[in-house]
C-alpha cells in the first residue's frame, strides 16, 4: 500500500519506528516473554520506563532543578481543573487569556474552585489572532495561557513576562521548539500531538508551587499526591507512557529540540509560502500569529472544493479537513510529519492552481 | 522461551490473541495503512471501536435499558471523587463499607464533596473478612461498596439490598461472573484486571442519576458531560479502549460470563482446596469471603520461603508475591489465566510438602 500523508490534528502521526517498537512491546516486552501491558506497574521493568520518560522530558526541554515531571491521566481537560485547584492563592482568582475553544474551557473550570478573570480574548475575530499588550492585574493568583490553538491555527510566539505565576497548556506544541521552562510555574500537555498516543498528560511542576494552594484539593487533583509518589500514586497508563518514552527517544536520537525546531520551521515556511503565493487559497490566521503546528486555510472559491478534495485523496493525504468552527482546511504538521508530506500537499495546491486558477 | 504463568495482581494477564491483535493494530489498523494510535478519535474507524466496546459491555453484563456505558480516564482513584460528586443528594452524605485499602480511599474523597459515614469496616482484622448485617441508615445518599479486595483476597458474594442507591467499585472482579446490574445505580471499574490494559475506567451509569447531584460538579467529573457526548467529550485513551474491546470480544467468543464464571470457580476451587489440604500453607481470608480473583496465603513455616520462592521461579510462575500489608503470597487468577497455570502452582505447593512437609 502507498504511504499515507497523515495531517490528523490529534491523535496524530508518530514516528514509524515508534509504531514498530510499541507493537513489539505488546508481544514481548524487554525479552521478558511477557507483554508490556500484562506486567505490574510496580515491576522494575516498568519503573525504568517511567523514570526514563520523566528524565527524557527534563533533558530535552533543558528543565532546571526545582521542577517535577509527572505523567497523569485525564487530558488537558482535567488539567484545566487541576490547574485551578493547585494554583489558587489568597485572591482565589485565575487570570485567563482566551485564545480559542480550549482556553475558554480552561477558564470555565476556575469557577468551580475560585473565580476567573478574562484578561484578553480574541473571540471577537473567531480567535484568528493572539491578544497582546494586555495588562496583568495584581489581584490574580496565576496567568493561564494556551500556547497553540489547534482549531484556529494560532500560536504564541513570545510569552508575556510579569511577576504573576505563569501556567500554560502546551498540549499541541510542546517538544516542537525550545522553550524556557524556568519562566513557568506549571506546564501541562496532553500527549497525543508531539509526545505520544492519547491516554497520558504531561505535567511539569515547579516544586515551589506544590502544597501552596488556598483551597482544599481532592486527592487525585493534588499535584503533591503524584509528586510524592514519583508519578505512581495509582496505576499509570502504561502503554501511553511507554510509547511517549519511545517518541522522546526518537526526538533525542535525531538531535532534540534544535533539530525539530528547524524541521518544523521548514515545514511551516513551505506551506505558508504556498498559501500566500497561490491565488486560490487564503490563510485564516493573522500572519504574525500563525501556528507552526496547524496551518489553517480556505479556498477562495468554494466551487473548487470537490476538485481539491479529490486531488488530496488521490495524493494519499489524510486528515486535512478543517474544524467546523473555522471551515476550510487544516494542515497539522506535528513533529513526526516529514517535510516530504508537506511538499506533496504543496504540489497538489499548485496543481489545482494550474488546472483551475 | 518458556511460557510464563502470570499471577500479576494488575495490570495482569490478558488473552494471548488480544496481545497479537493489539500489536497488529499499532502497525496497521483495519487495513488503513495507519496505526491505531495516529488516527483521529473522531474518525469513523475509532467511533466504531468505542461503540462496539460500549455495546459489548451491555451485552456481556446483560445490562437493562436505562443505563449508559462510558470509558473514561483516571482509574478507580478518580472514580472515588466522581462517585461522590455525582451521587450526593440532600443529605450530602455517602455511606461506605470499608473492606480494604481502596474502599478506605474511596470514603476519603466523599469529604471533599460532602461527608462520609463509615457503616462497617473490617479493618479490625486487617480486612480479612467482609462485614455483613450492618444497618443502612436513611440519612445517606448512597451506599458505596468495593466488590473485590485484591490486597486482602476477599470478595462480596452477596450484595446487600436496601432502598438506598447502590454504588460499587468493581475494578478487580467485573466480567468475572454474572451480576445483576439493575441493583446498582453506578458501577465503576479500572480496566487493568479482567477488561484490558491500564489507562481506561469503565462507568456503568443508571440514567436516572445523571444531573441529580445536590452539588455543583466540575466539567470532567460530571457523568452528564460524558454521557451527553457518548464517552467522547475529550480525546479518549484510544489504545486502552481498543484493547478492552478485543478482550471483551474474546470473552464473548468463548461463551461470555457463564463460561468465565465456571472457569473462575474451577481455578479458585483448585487453589483453595490445595491451601486447605496442604499442611504447609494457610489462607489469610475468612473462608466464606474468599475471593475468586485473588487467593492470599502464607507459609506456616517462614523458613521454607527460600525453597518455595526458588521452586516458583523454576516453574516460570511470576507475580505471586503478596502485598506488603498482608505478606505471604497472592495468586491473582484473573479471567485470562488458564486453569493449567493454577495446576502448575498447585503442583509446586504439593512438591514443597513432599520435600519439606
Q: Residues of A with CB below 8 A from B243's CB?
A: 37
Q: Which residues pair with B262 in a beta bridge?
A: none
| A38 to B19: CB separation less than 8 angstroms, yes or no | yes
pLDDT digit string, tens, across residues A195-247: 999 999 999 999 999 999 999 999 999 999 999 999 999 999 999 999 999 99
Per the annotation, the verdict on A169 as an active-site residue is yes
Note the pLDDT of residue A144. 98
Contacts of B268 (CB under 8 A, 6+ apart): B290, B291, B292, B295, B333
Of residues A84, A196, A217, the one with CA closest to residue B199: A196
CB atoms under 10 Å from CB of A261, counted, come to 18
Give the model confidence (pLDDT) of A105-127 as tens digits.
999 999 999 999 999 999 999 99
Count how many residues are written for chain A.
Answer: 357
Of the listed A169, A185, A222, A289, which one is catalytic? A169
3-state secondary structure of B191: coil
Average pLDDT in the A278-298 region?
A: 98
CATH class for domain B16-254? alpha beta
Interval A40-67 mean pLDDT: 97
pLDDT tier at A1, thresholds 50, 70, 90: low
Residue A201 backbone phi and psi in degrees, to 5: -130, 125
Taking a contact as any Cβ pair under 8 Å apart, which residues of chain A between 4 and 33 contact chain B?
A: 4, 6, 8-14, 19-20, 22-24, 26-27, 32-33
- Which pLDDT value is given to residue B357? 86
Residues B232-239: what's their mean pLDDT? 98
What is the chain A residue with the closest CA to B84? Answer: A218
List the single residue in B11, B38, B81 with the smallest CB-CB distance to A13.
B38
A321 touching B (Cβ < 8 Å): no
Q: Measured between beta carbons, which residues in chain B are less than 8 angstroms from residue A188?
A: none
Note whether A74 contacts B220, CB cutoff 8 Å: yes
The pLDDT of B268-273, averaged and rounded, is 98
Q: Would the pLDDT of B149 be above 70?
A: yes
Phi, psi angle pair for B326, to nearest 5°: -120, -35
Respond yes or no: is residue A102 known to be catalytic: yes
> Contacts of residue A2 in chain B, CB cutoff 8 Å?
33
Alpha-carbon distance A190 to A42, whole Å?
Answer: 24
List the beta strands (DSSP E) in chain A: 5-6, 67-72, 93-98, 115-121, 142-146, 148-149, 154-155, 166-169, 186-190, 201-206, 281-283, 294-299, 317-318, 329-332
Percent of chain A with pLDDT over 90: 99
Q: Are A98 and A118 in contact (CB under 8 A)?
A: yes
| CATH topology assigned to domain B256-356 | 3.90.1150
Which residues are within 8 A (CB) of B81 and not within 5 positions of it... i.e. 6 or more apart?
A218, A219, A220, A221, B109, B112, B113, B221
Architecture of domain A255-356: Alpha-Beta Complex (3.90)
| Chain B residues with CB-CB distance to A73 below 8 A | 73-75, 78, 199, 237
Cβ B34–A318 below 8 Å, yes or no? Answer: yes
pLDDT tens digit sequence for A22-38: 999 999 999 999 999 99
Range B61-90 average pLDDT: 98
**B80 pLDDT band (50/70/90 cuts)?**
very high
- Say if B34 is an interface residue toward chain A (CB within 8 Å): yes
Give the span between the Cα atoms of A20 and A193, in whole angstroms: 18
Residue count of chain B? 357
Mean pLDDT of A262-283: 98
pLDDT in tens, B48-57: 999 999 999 9
Q: Provide the mean pLDDT of chain A.
A: 97
Count of other CB atoms within 10 angstroms of residue B93: 17
Cα atoms found within 13 Å of the Cα of residue A16, Cβ hemisphere only: 7
Summary mean pLDDT of chain B:
97
pLDDT of residue A3: 85
Structure confidence at residue A357 (pLDDT):
86
In this prediction, does ipTM exceed 0.95? yes
Alpha carbon distance A116, A110 (integer Å)? 6
Mean pLDDT along residues B213-218? 98
Which residue carries 491451601 as its cell? B275
pLDDT digits (tens, 9 = 90+) for A156-206: 999 999 999 999 999 999 999 999 999 999 999 999 999 999 999 999 999
Task: Give the pTM.
Answer: 0.98
User: Over 90: is that where the pLDDT of B1 sits?
Assistant: no
* Minimal C-alpha gap between B338 and chain A (Å): 14
Query: For chain B, what is the radius of gyration of the CA atoms?
Result: 21
Tell me the three cell numbers of residue A326. 473555522
Q: Where in chain A is the domain with CATH 3.40.640.10?
A: 16-254
Q: Percent of chain A at pLDDT above 70?
A: 99
A-contacting residues in B 51-90 (Cβ below 8 Å): 73-78, 80-81
Residues of chain B with CATH 3.90.1150.10: 256-356
Print the SS3 string covering A303-352: HHHHHHHHHHHHCCEECCECCCCCCCEEEECCCCCCHHHHHHHHHHHHHH
Give the DSSP H/E element, type plus range, for residue A110.
helix A101-113
Residue B2 has pLDDT above 80, yes or no: no
Contacts of A41 in chain B (CB under 8 A): 11, 198
- Hey, of A198, A229, A337, which one would you mutate to test binding to chain B, going by the most B CBs within 10 A of its CB? A198
Identify the active-site residue in B141, B169, B222, B289.
B169
Q: What residues in A contact B318, CB-CB < 8 Å?
A: 34
**Planar angle of CA A123, A129, A135, nearest 5 degrees:** 80
CA–CA separation, B77 vs B138, rounded Å? 27
pLDDT range class, residue B351, cuts 50, 70, 90:
very high
Q: How far is CA B12 from CA A9, B93, B150, in A?
A: 33, 35, 12
Measure the CA–CA gap between B295 and B152, rounded to whole angstroms. Answer: 8
Taking CA–CA distances from A323, the nearest residue in chain B reads B42
Amino acid at each position: 500500500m502507498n504511504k499515507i500523508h497523515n495531517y490528523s490534528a490529534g491523535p496524530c502521526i508518530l514516528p514509524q519506528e515508534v509504531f514498530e517498537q510499541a507493537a513489539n512491546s505488546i508481544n514481548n516486552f524487554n525479552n521478558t516473554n511477557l507483554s508490556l501491558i500484562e506486567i505490574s506497574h510496580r515491576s522494575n521493568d516498568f519503573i525504568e520506563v517511567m523514570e526514563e520518560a520523566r528524565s527524557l522530558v527534563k533533558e530535552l526541554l533543558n528543565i532546571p532543578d526545582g521542577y517535577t515531571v509527572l505523567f497523569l491521566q485525564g487530558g488537558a481537560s482535567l488539567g484545566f481543573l487541576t490547574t485551578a485547584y493547585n494554583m489558587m492563592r489568597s485572591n482565589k482568582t485565575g487570570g485567563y487569556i482566551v485564545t480559542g475553544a480550549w482556553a475558554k474551557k480552561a477558564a470555565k473550570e476556575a469557577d468551580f474552585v475560585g473565580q476567573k478573570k478574562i484578561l484578553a480574548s480574541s473571540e471577537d475575530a473567531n480567535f484568528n489572532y493572539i491578544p497582546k499588550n494586555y495588562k496583568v492585574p495584581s489581584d490574580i493568583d496565576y496567568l493561564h495561557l494556551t500556547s497553540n490553538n489547534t482549531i484556529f491555527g494560532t500560536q504564541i510566539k513570545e510569552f508575556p513576562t510579569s511577576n504573576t505565576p505563569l501556567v500554560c497548556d502546551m498540549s499541541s506544541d510542546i517538544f516542537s521548539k525550545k522553550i524556557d521552562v524556568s519562566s513557568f510555574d506549571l506546564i501541562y500537555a496532553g500527549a497525543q500531538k508531539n509526545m505520544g498516543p492519547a491516554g497520558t498528560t504531561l505535567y511539569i511542576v515547579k516544586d515551589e508551587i506544590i502544597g501552596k494552594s488556598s483551597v482544599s484539593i481532592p486527592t487525585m487533583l493534588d499535584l503533591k499526591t503524584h509528586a510524592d509518589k514519583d508519578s505512581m500514586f495509582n496505576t499509570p497508563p502504561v502503554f501511553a507512557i511507554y510509547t511517549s518514552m519511545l517518541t522522546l527517544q526518537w526526538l533525542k536520537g535525531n538531535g532534540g529540540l534544535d533539530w525539530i525546531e528547524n524541521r518544523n520551521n521548514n515545514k511551516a515556511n513551505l506551506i505558508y509560502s504556498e498559501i500566500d503565493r497561490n491565488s486560490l487559497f487564503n490563510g485564516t490566521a493573522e500572519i504574525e500569529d500563525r501556528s507552526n503546528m496547524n496551518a489553517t486555510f480556505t479556498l477562495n472559491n468554494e466551487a473548487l472544493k470537490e476538485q481539491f478534495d479529490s486531488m488530496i485523496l488521490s495524493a494519499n493525504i489524510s486528515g486535512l479537513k478543517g474544524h467546523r468552527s473555522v471551515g476550510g482546511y487544516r494542515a497539522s504538521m506535528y513533529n513526526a510529519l516529514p517535510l516530504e508530506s508537506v511538499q506533496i500537499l504543496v504540489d497538489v495546491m499548485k496543481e489545482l492552481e494550474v488546472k483551475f486558477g
